[in-house]
């Protein structure tokens, strides 16, 4: 027995002889090459906590929230580096570093990172929000800015007005009762985007659609080890390999029906039926083709063609980008006002003077409502609805003397930047009057101290529409009603904690009791 083994060993060693010679040369060679490439890198990574071999800083996974990263930034500075498995991450936490990344070197920092789940659910980045920077993204962006989210698309603005009216009537019907304001607001903004996207006739399927999106949202955030250590992709703790196809099939089925309906209606319309109201699906279908194509021409109609997958993915962008963001901002604004009765009194006084108690607020009033504007800005400063802007580097880069490799995930902490003590006095205090001063930063994207909508190429294309919904909803709710906290709750007892996801809404829903304030019917 042992004889056989001995023989096998001998022949094995013989067989390995040439191999061991090669190893003898190749290993040191590889080692040298490694040294050289490391030498060529020269610049160090940005500072950051030390990691373990292979997994890097993965034990700090739970700190990858706006608050966790802000805390780490106190220790490691405005630009710090983490390694999660094979993935490099860089957190940007002060205005100057944000300017470097979003303006000075925006050509390198304008890609979007996507996990395996996100790539799958967006039909391999067939949308705009997760498309990499390039010709396709550029034409998609043009299409969105000029057609879908444009001020000229009056129907979107109309659906905001109509849905806010419905909300006001709903609240009025519950006068004197305890109302779950947070839930109402979420329902308001999903009604707005749903109608803007699919038109008013499709309301039946809304509950199902919201369920589908909630599953998407969970999958977007699900931890998947394969994103960090590709070799371990067989470990599927969250059952993603079945959940992902199931979720996408559900969305396929849902939107396919809607697209078919719209195509049918389009045919009918061409035949002389008079339905002037178009929704986003109608607008997108004008670019429909069986095969996707893009080229860089100024004439949008001839330069981009969309497939069904593109249309589905864009609709998803709108639902994700435009619903929770706006709802979170409205709820935070009302919450901060309930916690700060003096500011609430002051803004209601302004509304009484500018608008009067005998009518509702109208769009033409907005420019005179100076203090209301301050309230909304201060809300977006303290509670930017998207707290972390996620970007990815297209190639190796150098920032502030540090090396950032290609395909690194860049997390721009808009939340920490809005509370940067070097840029804001008393940064954690809600004080809207700070925006009355000359020269305070504005959120249009030129001041890197205040970037709730981002800045530059990847900044929010839906800003105007989002601000309109925010303005209108908050103005109506505080002009039409007086609000009290339930059961003698004190303003200081309001829970101000947030939860972290794609957005950072309040951890608990706002509950309050409305009383009618206007002398006209609502
Ligand atoms: C208060 C409301 C809103 C806020 C605070 C907000 C904020 C943002 C932010 C911070 C970004 C990312 C910027 C970056 O990565 O640098 C973004 C991107 C985006 N937003 Fe908004 N948003 C709002 C409303 C909306 C609305 C109403 C829509 C659509 C109707 C929308 C559609 C999008 C899309 C499609 C993108 C991706 C753009 C791209 O990747 O090129 N957003 N938004
Ligand atoms: C949103 O639409 C649904 C269905 O039409 C309706 O029941 C609900 O009251 C609406 N929400 C608000 C806040 O108006
Ligand atoms: C359009 O109208 C013509 C007659 O005006 C009719 O023959 C045709 O079937 C109609 N097509 C559709 C799709 O309704
Ligand atoms: C691209 O550009 C050419 C002219 O340069 C034009 O003829 C064509 O229609 C454009 N569109 C596509 C998608 O090829």
pLDDT in tens, 187-200: 999 999 999 999 87
Ligand nearest to the CA of 265: 3
Q: How far apart are CA 89 and CA 67, in angstroms?
A: 16
Note the pLDDT of residue 455: 97
14 lines ligand 3 (CB under 6 A): no
Percent of the chain with pLDDT over 70: 91
Residue 496 has pLDDT above 70, yes or no: yes
Q: Which H or E run includes 89?
A: strand 87-92
H helical segments located in 199-307: 206-221, 240-270, 280-285, 300-303
277 lines ligand 4 (CB under 6 A): no
Q: What is the mean pLDDT of the chain?
A: 90
Tell me which of 289, 302, 304, 306 to substitute to probe ligand 4's pocket, judged by most ligand atoms within 8 Å of the beta carbon. Answer: 302
Residue 10 has pLDDT above 80, yes or no: no
Count how many Cα atoms sit within 13 Å of the Cα of residue 141 in the half-sphere of its side chain: 17
Q: In 3D, which of 318, 329, 274, 320 has the Cα closest to residue 147? A: 318
Within the chain, how many helices (H) and strands (E) appear? 17, 11
- Contact, 411 vs 90, CB < 8 A? yes
Instruction: Name the closest-CA residue to atom 9, ligand 1.
Output: 453
Note the pLDDT of residue 8: 53
2 lines ligand 3 (CB under 6 A): no
What is residue 517's three-state secondary structure? coil
Q: How far is the CA of 286 from the centre of ligand 4 (A)?
A: 17
Residue 435 has pLDDT above 70, yes or no: yes
Q: How far apart are CA 230 and CA 87, in angstroms?
A: 10
The 10s digit of each residue's pLDDT in 119-164 is 999 999 999 999 999 999 999 999 999 999 999 888 899 999 999 9
The 10s digit of each residue's pLDDT in 99-130 is 999 999 999 999 999 999 999 999 999 999 99
- Diameter of the chain measured on Cα atoms: 105
Q: How far is the CA of 300 from the centre of ligand 4 (A)?
A: 10
Note the pLDDT of residue 1: 46
Backbone angles phi, psi at 142, to 5 degrees: -60, -45
Compute the average pLDDT of residues 284-303: 84
Note the pLDDT of residue 74: 97
Q: How far apart are CA 314 and CA 312, in angstroms?
A: 6
Ligand nearest to the CA of 267: 3
Sign of CA dihedral 83, 89, 94, 99: positive
Ligand nearest to the CA of 92: 1
Compute the average pLDDT of residues 267-287: 79
Backbone angles phi, psi at 179, to 5 degrees: -115, 135
Question: pTM (2 decimals)?
Answer: 0.89
Q: Closest ligand 2 atom, CA of 191?
A: 1
Token pair of 184 as six digits: 């109402």
Note the pLDDT of residue 302: 79
Sign of CA dihedral 7, 8, 9, 15: positive
Instruction: Tell me the pLDDT band of 461, cut-offs 50, 70 and 90.
Output: very high
């Amino acid at each position: 027995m042992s004889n056989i083994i001995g023989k096998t060993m001998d022949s094995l060693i013989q067989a390995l002889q040439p191999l061991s010679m090669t190893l003898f040369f190749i290993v040191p060679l590889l080692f040298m090459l490694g040294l050289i490439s490391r030498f060529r890198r020269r610049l160090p990574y940005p500072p950051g906590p030390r990691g373990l071999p292979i997994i890097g800083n993965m034990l700090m996974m739970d700190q990858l929230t706006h608050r966790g990263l802000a805390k780490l930034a106190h220790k490691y500075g405005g630009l710090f580096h983490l390694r999660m498995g094979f993935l490099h991450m860089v957190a940007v936490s002060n205005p100057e570093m944000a300017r470097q990344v979003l303006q000075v070197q925006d050509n390198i920092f304008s890609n979007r990172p996507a996990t395996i789940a996100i790539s799958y659910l967006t039909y391999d980045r067939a949308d705009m929000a997760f498309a990499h920077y390039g010709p396709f993204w550029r034409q998609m962006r043009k299409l969105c800015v000029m057609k879908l989210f444009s001020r000229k698309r009056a129907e979107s603005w109309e659906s905001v007005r109509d849905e806010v009216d419905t909300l006001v009537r709903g609240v009025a019907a519950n006068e004197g009762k305890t109302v779950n304001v947070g839930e109402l607001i979420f329902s308001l903004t999903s009604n707005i985007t749903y109608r803007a996207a699919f038109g008013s006739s499709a309301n039946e399927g809304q509950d199902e659609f919201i369920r589908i999106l909630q599953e998407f949202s969970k999958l977007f955030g699900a931890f998947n080890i394969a994103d960090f250590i590709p070799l371990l992709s067989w470990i599927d703790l969250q059952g993603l390999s079945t959940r992902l196809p199931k979720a996408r099939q559900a969305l396929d089925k849902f939107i396919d029906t809607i697209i078919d309906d719209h195509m049918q209606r389009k045919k009918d319309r061409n035949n002389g039926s008079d339905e002037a109201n178009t929704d986003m699906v109608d607008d997108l279908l004008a670019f429909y083709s069986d095969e996707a194509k893009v080229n860089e021409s100024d004439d949008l109609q001839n330069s981009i063609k969309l497939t069904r997958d593109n249309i589905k993915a864009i609709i998803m962008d709108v639902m994700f980008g435009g619903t929770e963001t706006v709802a979170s901002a409205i709820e935070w604004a009302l919450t901060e006002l309930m916690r700060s009765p003096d500011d609430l009194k002051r803004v209601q006084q302004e509304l009484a003077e500018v608008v009067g108690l005998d009518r509702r607020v109208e769009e033409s009033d907005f420019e005179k409502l100076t203090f209301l504007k301050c309230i909304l800005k201060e809300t977006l400063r303290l509670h930017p609805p998207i707290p972390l802007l996620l970007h990815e580097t297209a190639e190796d880069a150098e920032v502030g003397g540090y090396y950032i490799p290609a395909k690194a995930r860049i997390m721009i902490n808009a939340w920490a930047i809005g509370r940067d003590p070097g840029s804001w006095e008393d940064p954690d205090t809600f004080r809207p009057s700070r925006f009355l001063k000359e020269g305070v930063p504005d959120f249009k994207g030129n001041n890197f101290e205040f970037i709730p909508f981002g800045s530059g190429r990847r900044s929010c294309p839906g800003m105007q529409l989002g601000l309109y919904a925010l303005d209108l909803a908050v103005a109506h709710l505080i002009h039409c009603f007086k609000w009290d906290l339930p059961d003698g709750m004190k303003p200081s007892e309001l829970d101000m904690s947030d939860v972290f996801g794609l957005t950072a809404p309040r951890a608990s829903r706002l509950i309050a009791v409305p009383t009618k304030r206007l002398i006209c019917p609502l």
